[in-house]
C-alpha cells in the first residue's frame, strides 16, 4: 500500500477547477469527493491531514483554481483484534478494498465471549503478513452459517462511501438459497416489517410494528420430488438489511431455508438432502458496486461451496 511519510495512507487529491475557484476547501471536498463532515473533522487534526499546495489549512480556507488539495488519513489498526493465521479466501484486493469469500461456520467480527477464529482475526493477520496497517471495517456482515462475499474497506473514506452506496440501494447483493416448498408466485417481493421476537429476543419475526424490510426473490429451479411440498433454489436480493431478514421473510411465506435450525421446517422427518448442507442453505453469491476511488463499476462472484453443490445434486436426483 502506498504511504506518505510512513504515517498516512495515499492521499486523496483534488485539483481546484475554475468552477470551484473561490470556494471553501470543505465545500470542494464535499462536492467533488463526497467527504463527510466527520471525516474532515478527523483529518484536520493531524499535521498533514489537510493541505493545499502542501501547506496545512483549515477546512474553511479559500481555494483558487489550480490549487492541489490533499486529504491524508492516518494509518490505523484494529488493536482489539488478535491476528490469527486463519486461511481466508481473497477474491479481490487493492489499496482500498478487500473482498473475501467467507466460509460457513465463521463469525465476521469478534463478539462478547467469541474473540478468536473470526473472519476479522484472519484478515488482520493477512494484513500484518503484508506489512499493512489497516483497521478492520466490514461494509456488511453475514450470519455465522451463511457463506459468501464480504466487502471490507481499508480506509475510513472508502467505508463511508460504500456505506452510503449501501444505504442508497446502489450495492448489488444477490444470495442463493435452497428452501422447503416452492414460492408462489415464482418471482415477487416480500414487504413485511421485522423486529425482535418478544418471547425469544435473539430471534426476529414479522410484526406490524417492526422495521421496514423488503426482500425480492425469484425461483431458479423447483424440485417437486423432494419431500411432501417439494423444494426450490431461489435468488434473493435485499432492499433493506435487517438481522436474519432472508430467513425470517422466507419462513413468513411458508418456504423456510433448508437446514435453518431457528427458522426452518418443523415437519419432523429428515431427508438425506436436508443433512447435506449441515447448516442453513444460504450463500452470498454476487456482490457489486462502484469502486469508491476509481469510480469503476465492479462485480464479484463466489461459486457455490461444496456442501451446497451436494445439496443441489441431491435435490435434483430426487426428481
Q: What is the DSSP string of 178-213?
A: EEES--SSSEEEEE--EEE-SS-TTSEEE-TTSB--
Cα dihedral sign, 288-292-297-302: negative
C-alpha 292/C-alpha 206 separation (Å) is 35
Rounded to the nearest 10°, the torsion over CA 152, 158, 160, 165 is -80
**Grid coordinates in use for 16?**
481546484
Instruction: Give the strands of the sheet with 55-56, arranged side by side.
Output: 12-15, 68-71, 50-52, 55-56
Helix (H) or strand (E) holding 102: strand 97-102
Q: Please indicate whether residue 143 is annotated as part of the active site.
A: yes
Q: Select which of 143, 195, 197, 198 is catalytic.
A: 143
Active site residues: 143
Amino acid at each position: 500500500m502506498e504511504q506518505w511519510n510512513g504515517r498516512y495512507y495515499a492521499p486523496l487529491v483534488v485539483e481546484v477547477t475554475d468552477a470551484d475557484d473561490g470556494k471553501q476547501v470543505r465545500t470542494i471536498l464535499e462536492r467533488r469527493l463526497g467527504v463527510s463532515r466527520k471525516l474532515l473533522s478527523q483529518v484536520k487534526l493531524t499535521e498533514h491531514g489537510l493541505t493545499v499546495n502542501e501547506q496545512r489549512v483549515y477546512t474553511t480556507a479559500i481555494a483558487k483554481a489550480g490549487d492541489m488539495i490533499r486529504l491524508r488519513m492516518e494509518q490505523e489498526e484494529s488493536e482489539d483484534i488478535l491476528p490469527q493465521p486463519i486461511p481466508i479466501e481473497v477474491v479481490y484486493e487493492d489499496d482500498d478494498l478487500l473482498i473475501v469469500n467467507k466460509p460457513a461456520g465463521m463469525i465476521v467480527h469478534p463478539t462478547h465471549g467469541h474473540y478468536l477464529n473470526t473472519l476479522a482475526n484472519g484478515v488482520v493477520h493477512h494484513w500484518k503478513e503484508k506489512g499493512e496497517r489497516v483497521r478492520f471495517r466490514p461494509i456488511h456482515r453475514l450470519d455465522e452459517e451463511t457463506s459468501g462475499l464480504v466487502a471490507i474497506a481499508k480506509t475510513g473514506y472508502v467505508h463511508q462511501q460504500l456505506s452510503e452506496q449501501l444505504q442508497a440501494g446502489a450495492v448489488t447483493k444477490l444470495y442463493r438459497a435452497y428452501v422447503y416448498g416452492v414460492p408462489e408466485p415464482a418471482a415477487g417481493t416480500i414487504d413485511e416489517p421485522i423486529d425482535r421476537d418478544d418471547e425469544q429476543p435473539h430471534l426476529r419475526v414479522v410484526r406490524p410494528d417492526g422495521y421496514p424490510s423488503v426482500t425480492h426473490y425469484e425461483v431458479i429451479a423447483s424440485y417437486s420430488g423432494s419431500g411432501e411440498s417439494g423444494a426450490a433454489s431461489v435468488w434473493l436480493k435485499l432492499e433493506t438489511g435487517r438481522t436474519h431478514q432472508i430467513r425470517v421473510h422466507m419462513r413468513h411465506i411458508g418456504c423456510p431455508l433448508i437446514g435453518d435450525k431457528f427458522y426452518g421446517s418443523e415437519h419432523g422427518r429428515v431427508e438425506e438432502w436436508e443433512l447435506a448442507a449441515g447448516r442453513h442453505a444460504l450463500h452470498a453469491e454476487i456482490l457489486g458496486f462502484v469502486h469508491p476511488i476509481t469510480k469503476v463499476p465492479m462485480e464479484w462472484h463466489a461459486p457455490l461451496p461444496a456442501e451446497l453443490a451436494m445439496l443441489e445434486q441431491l435435490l435434483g436426483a430426487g426428481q
